[in-house]
Structure 1
Amino acid sequence: MTYNVNDQRAEVRDLEEVLKLPDDQLSRIFHNRTVSIPVSALHALRQELVFSIGEDRTKGVFIRYGWHTGVTEGQKMRELNWKSEEELVMAGPMLHKMHGHLDDVIVEEMKYDDEDAINYIRAAWYNSYEVEKQLEFSGPADQPVCHTLCGFASGYLSSALGRPMLVKETKCMAVGDDNCEMVCKPIEDWGTDEHENTYYQSSSVIEELDEVTAKLKRERDYLTTAHDVHKQMMEIILSKKELENIAELLHNTTGLPIFIEDENHNITAKCNGTTIDFDLRELDTKVTHFFELSGGEGLLRTPIYFENKIRGYCSFVYTGGSRPTPLEYMIIDQTSLTASIVLLHENIRIQTAQNIRRSFLADILDEKMDEDELYKVAKYLDFNPEGDYWVFTMEKMGNEDELNLEIEANEKVLKHVNMFFKQRGIETFASYKFSQLIVALEDRPDNIMMKDKPGMINALLKHCREKYKNYKFNVGVSSVENNIRSIPDLYKETEIALNTRTDDSGGNILYYDDLGVEKLLFQISDQSMLNRFVESQIGDLLEADKHDELTETLKCYIENGMSINATSKAMSMSISGLRYRLEKISDLLGIEMDDTKALFSIYMALNVARVKKKS
């Protein structure tokens, strides 16, 4: 029996009658013209698309192809009279099979909403053409592959039911399931996180290319700017400029407040107008990191590495809740490398200068240079040969048993002391002998710290104690002499001052200018004369006093003005006990305990004996 499309469409009224027609006649009822596409051709097309536009976009193409086919079928089927909405839905699987998409469809579950409208369908698919070709040519898949089937079912049900429906494949034989399974629900019931809906939205490749082009342009601009910054940083390195120039360059490029700090969080460079109201000690990081702070502020920080250790940080400051751009991440990473190179150059320069100055001081102390050479080197090092100079010697007391450990410790302390003075704008030349650190300074009145030598040396001692807690330090300070040639004599003055310290606890600062007659006694080159002087004055006392009780009592008595009451209090001793000791001392030395002249000489001998015993 032959059917005219225009005539027969009106005569066909129920599903059974429609489905009993031969396929070619059934097709002509709903289509003016049908093009047959082999499954192998569809698969080849899919492979071409995957190669050209990628897996994800190819999935979208086949979903939309199925969608448009399904919408067309659904619209035509709605023109027929159906006993129920369910009967209209059941026509969809037959049309699915008619197009050759699969061999069979079994609707396993169907639900209705409160208004008796279908809002849920679950069905099993068997022998999908897309699964067949996937397994034949590519093997098992990681994700469901029945994209045309999902698109057709979504388009048909949306058109047939008159409301947006979305089908998702929940099982697929291509990933190892026994059969394929689809679930259909209204789009809104899938929730806002359902990604599948995006495949039904047609997008232009040209638009995507425009977006990619714009992104690439931004990346190119980033790289161009980063290259320009890198080039200028190299110029800074080659011109031997300081970190301040880097901070200024970064600020001019990014418009952000910038600052650079050392490993102790002291600000070493910053651009104008940068204020730091943060506790930087809580913001340490081993990699580039963005810290969100209170009040909408933030810090993009990167560590500056040198000699495999973090030697500081560079930070960009953000306000108003703004965050770093990819360009700023690129720039700050370049900054870290550049700052490391600058620190390397600075370290080499400082070490070279310090080595020259160390050698210069050693030659002065050993008196190896004639006057002309000494003056030339001094002027080269920017010191005035005719200026005022003073010296201090720092004794370091520790527990180094091996020579190499002592040398290493001396180098560290020397570097630390040099950095202390450099940060305060004071030029020095320093060296060490064994456990002594010797520092010579030009007494320049234009430096504020030079006007308060005790305060400056106390600050240095505090600095060293905090850095080297295992050591104790004593400092001997010379007088001031006019001419750099006087440094050897000034060094001897520091040794004399150190020799007069009264205990070995460490932490003493002894000034040569505060000494009395000891200045002369300790400059006597013939030590036998000093020995004879000590022997003549207190020899009998030293021989009898094995535990130094009488010696200490005599010294305290003289230092307390020969007052029995004051000495008793100072020594926490009874007056009767003190009188007993004084009488014994008087008998041993053959002097009266109120003989001022004799006690003065004895006091000098006591000091010499104490120093010689300590040395």
Structure 2
Amino acid sequence: MAYTVKQLLESKQFPDMRLVTCKENLNQEIKGIRIIEIEDMERYLTGGELLLTNMKVYFGETDREFRKHLNELEKKQVSGFIIKQHLDMVQKVNYYDILLKFCSERNIPVIEISEDEYYWGIIKYVILQIYDENIARLIYFKLTHDNISNMLLDGENFEDPTKNILFLLSSMIGNPVALYYSNLTCCASTTQDLSDFVFEKNVEKYKPDIVTRFEYKKQRKEHTQYITKIHVLGRVEVYLVVTEVNMPLTILDYMALENAVFTLQYSFMETYARNEIEKKYQRDIEYSLLNGLLTGDELSKAARMLKLEDTDQYCVVSFHTISSNSEDYYTKEELEEIGVIEGEIQRLLPDEHIYRNLNQIVCIHEIKPGETQAGFREEMEKLYQTVQKQIFHRNKTTDFQIGIGSIVNGYGDLKKSFKDSKKIIDYMDMLRYLYGDKNISVADFSKLGFFQIFEKIKNRDELMEYVPESLVKLYWYDKEHDGELIETLQAYLDCDKSANKAAEKLYVNYRTLSGRLKKIKDISGIDFKNSAEMLAVRNGIVLFKMAETL
């Protein structure tokens, strides 16, 4: 049985619908439904369609051109128009009045809806009235595919097309939509809520009643949420989340959701590729700058490209992620993890120059007026906590550390700050011992204190000359007997010379520890009651640790 304009009005599904022309000719069959997306839409109609428009596509057309399109639409025997009138958009041509007059003369029904009403609820309802469910699915999939794909043509950067797609999807399914990075921070949302996403304990896999290539999950909070994971080139993951605030999702809504995921995937791939090219170019410049490979005009040109000034102060920050193995080989999973950490740092430091070379992530930071070294270190400690939390969330064991280089004047000395930032990471274990805090993971070069003097020594044997002879004796004893005397001495001093605490720290009994301390005294002649000698021994252990890095 044919479905007519009259039946649509009498269905009361859309209370805001108002018939404004042609009350006599409402029994025309609706053979399809389309949004007028281009001015010559008549070329793409099969006949008998109900057309939806706000007439924006005709803005800029003359009175004559607009009437010509209407005549062509009449030849297609359209069943009617559903229009949204935007009173705030004043045009030289009054398209609304021309349409009403044209349709009145030709007995074509015109229905008006409010500006707040979305077309997609009407489209879904009408399609299900005029087709069986399988045909309706195919037609709606094609309609949503065409409309969402067109969003890629709008905007020139990552953010704009993404937001456009999300808002269009939200209008299609009648519920809010948000996009989250792999670390669950919000990338974009159709609401004002930009808080981090939280996976609930009741989250479960969900399979909608459609053919899908994507992984869906479902969880219940105040409202039910549907989560779709989007993979980008096997390197990046984002989550698309729909929250059922207004109405339950239907089969047709999943068609729209599938198209949105496909389109977002392509959008991200394009953005990712473009960013990789830009990063490669910038990476080459920053690599040369930080390693002192540029001089004269080349150096000045590189600085201009990075907007660095010779009158400003800078410091370089190195982020340690995954240590290189003996073969300098990294697994795919390790490289992906480093990439995720790089993305998190870029998000947390959007205005900084971030550079990555394999496992090395580096930041060139400009010292702002009034900014102190301690204040910047505090910022880096907050960043460390945020990134470490996400590493823990991903169940990774990455040894994340941050080394802050010395402050230098102008871009010409960035090489020195870069070297210092790498050194401080090399000496992180030594600093943990020096300050008695095994949890230190963020440090600046100044923390080395007077040990910066010894840092300049690059020969292991020369550095060992500054180690007290008593420690050298213990070193050779340990080496010959595979012993643990230096480790025992370090633990004893760390515990303020408490044998009980040192035994607990080393997981040995008190008698074993006492025996080791006696052996230490016998071999080295160390006087534990001499505070000056104890200071020399502590410093000697630090020098041992520095020597281990050479």
Instruction: Place the TM-score, normalised by the shorter chain, in its bin.
Output: 0.5 to 0.7
| Mapped contact 2:315–2:366 kept (Cα < 8 A) | yes
| Mapped contact 1:550–1:585 kept (Cα < 8 A) | no
| Mapped contact 1:582–1:593 kept (Cα < 8 A) | no
Q: Distance in 1 between matches of 2:216 and 2:416?
A: 57
Residue number in structure 1 paired with 2:502 = 570
The Cα offsets for residues 539-594 of structure 1, whole Å up to 9 and x where unpaired, read as 33433443444434544555566xx5x3564346469757734641453x7xx555
Indicate the structure with greater helix content. 1
Q: Which runs of 5+ in 1 are unaligned?
A: 1-52, 54-206
Residue number in structure 2 paired with 1:233 = 151
Q: Distance in 1 between matches of 2:221 and 2:469?
A: 80
Letter in 2 for 1:366: N
Q: Secondary structure at the match of 1:431?
A: strand
* 1:460 corresponds to 2:383: no
Aligned runs of 1:567-606 on 2, under 5 Å? 567=499, 569-571=501-503, 573=510, 577=515, 580-581=518-519, 583-587=521-525, 592-606=527-541
| Mapped contact 1:289–1:300 kept (Cα < 8 A) | no
Residue number in structure 1 paired with 2:266 = 341
Deviates more, 1:362-371 or 1:282-291: 282-291
* 1:392 corresponds to 2:318: yes
Letter in 2 for 1:580: K
The Cα shift of 1:609 comes to 2.4
Letter in 2 for 1:463: Q
Q: Distance in 1 between matches of 2:452 and 2:295?
A: 28
Q: Which of residues 397, 403, 417 is equivalent to 2:341?
A: 417
Residue number in structure 1 paired with 2:365 = 442
| Mapped contact 1:396–1:474 kept (Cα < 8 A) | no
Q: Distance in 1 between matches of 2:413 and 2:191?
A: 45
The Cα shift of 1:501 comes to 0.7
Q: Distance in 2 between matches of 1:293 and 1:536?
A: 66
* 1:245 corresponds to 2:172: no
Letter in 2 for 1:418: E
Letter in 1 for 2:360: L
The Cα RMSD (Å) is 4.9
Residue number in structure 1 paired with 2:29 = 210
Q: Distance in 1 between matches of 2:339 and 2:467?
A: 41
Q: Distance in 2 between matches of 1:472 and 1:610?
A: 19
TM-score (norm 2): 0.57
The Cα shift of 1:493 comes to 2.8
Letter in 1 for 2:289: I
The Cα shift of 1:217 comes to 4.7
| Mapped contact 2:219–2:226 kept (Cα < 8 A) | no
Q: Which of residues 444, 448, 457 is equivalent to 1:515?
A: 448
Considering Cα pairs closer than 8 Å and 6+ residues apart, tell me whether 1 or 2 has the greater RCO: 2
* 1:501 corresponds to 2:422: no
Residue number in structure 2 paired with 1:469 = 396
- How many aligned residue pairs are there? 399
Q: Distance in 2 between matches of 1:608 and 1:524?
A: 11
Residue number in structure 2 paired with 1:607 = 542
Q: Secondary structure at the match of 2:465?
A: helix
Indicate how the Cα distance of structure 1 residues 275 and 342 shifts in structure 2: closer, same or farther if over 3 A, else same: same
Identity %: 15
Deviates more, 1:214-223 or 1:539-548: 214-223
Q: Secondary structure at the match of 1:430?
A: strand
| Mapped contact 1:237–1:338 kept (Cα < 8 A) | no
Q: Distance in 1 between matches of 2:471 and 2:220?
A: 73
Q: Distance in 2 between matches of 1:495 and 1:253?
A: 52
Q: Distance in 1 between matches of 2:218 and 2:234?
A: 28
Q: Distance in 2 between matches of 1:303 and 1:514?
A: 43
Indicate how the Cα distance of structure 1 residues 350 and 212 shifts in structure 2: closer, same or farther if over 3 A, else same: closer
Q: Distance in 2 between matches of 1:604 and 1:577?
A: 24
* 1:376 corresponds to 2:304: no
Letter in 2 for 1:338: T
The Cα offsets for residues 495-553 of structure 1, whole Å up to 9 and x where unpaired, read as 4433351599x975152333333222122244442133348564334334434444345
| Mapped contact 2:179–2:241 kept (Cα < 8 A) | yes
The Cα shift of 1:417 comes to 1.8
Q: Distance in 2 between matches of 1:373 and 1:525?
A: 31
Q: Distance in 1 between matches of 2:216 and 2:473?
A: 77
The Cα shift of 1:351 comes to 2.0
